[in-house]
Amino acid sequence: MRLATWNINSIRTRLDRVTSWLDRQDIDVLALQETKCRDDQFPFDKFEELGYEAAHLGVNQWNGVAIVSRVGLTDIEFAFPGQPGFDKDAGESLISAPVVEARAIGATCGGLRVWSLYVPNGRSLTDPHYAYKLEWLATLRRNAQEWLSADPQARIALAGDWNIAPTDDDVWSAEFFAGKTHTSQPERDAFTAILDTGFTDVMRPYAPGPGVYTYWDYTQLRFPRKEGMRIDFILASPALAAAATDAMVDREERKGKQPSDHAPVIAVFSD
């Protein structure tokens, strides 16, 4: 089983890149984030032509998550239980209400339970979006714990753009990110809390040390200057992690014409 996750930063802009990449890398299941389209705009037919089923959740030009699979696609969920919403008008309107955004979709693919996750950015340490991010992660952690408690042998992958760099080795400059989101201690603690339930970052054993990144900002020549962050992860349940045989970042996909600012992460599991 070859599982991948990729923040594609608009599926309609980069569809040809995705479809050709699926074939070159022989991917069985792909979790996508930031599809940036409504469900009626998602290219289901193009994936079907390649032998893939797809499930997508998108309501506008923001966010959006999908799972694309050639090994089955069943038991689809369009949010994890209790997933928090965000009140975009917080502090500005007395009649506004939180909206559960298009940030999580789950499906069973060939015996593997896959979640494609687009964790909230947080924006700044004083923004309401930061508190929302921490609540979102805490709720996901509770679900992760419950899933493993219900079935310790479950094969579960939490895959996506986590918008967190868990250690200083995961950013090009700890000093640059001091006092900003993605590296704050509460965010790192929230990430660690999910690992503490039993999930494992499957890529790290195969790509140790600093300098292994999955995201490079479009500005300031970050990519050619190797100034990136590692914020995209596949976290595997104990039973799934035990079956891992390889993992990597496909850095080549950050090159070329109109790339996403993220590179795909691939993990390989034995049957």
Half-sphere exposure (CA, 13 Å, Cβ side) for 212?
A: 18
Cross-strand bridge partners of residue 69: 29, 53
218 in active site: no
Q: Which residue carries 């895959």 as its tokens?
A: 159
Which residues fall in the annotated binding site?
7, 34, 161, 163, 261-262
Identify the active-site residue in 118, 130, 213, 215. 118
Q: In angstroms, what is the C-alpha Rg of the chain? A: 17
CB neighbours (10 Å) of residue 187? 23
161 in active site: yes
Give the C-alpha distances (Å, rounded to integers) separating 29 from 69, 75, 114, 160.
Answer: 4, 15, 9, 13
Which residues fall in the annotated binding site for Mg(2+)?
7, 34, 161, 163, 261-262
Calpha distance 83→187 (Å, rounded): 17
Identify the active-site residue in 56, 170, 213, 262. 262
Identify the active-site residue in 28, 161, 201, 232. 161
Q: How far is CA 100 from the centre of its chain?
A: 17
Calpha distance 215→111 (Å, rounded): 30
130 in active site: no
Pairing of β 232-236 and β 156-161: antiparallel
- Catalytic residues, by residue number, are 118, 161, 262
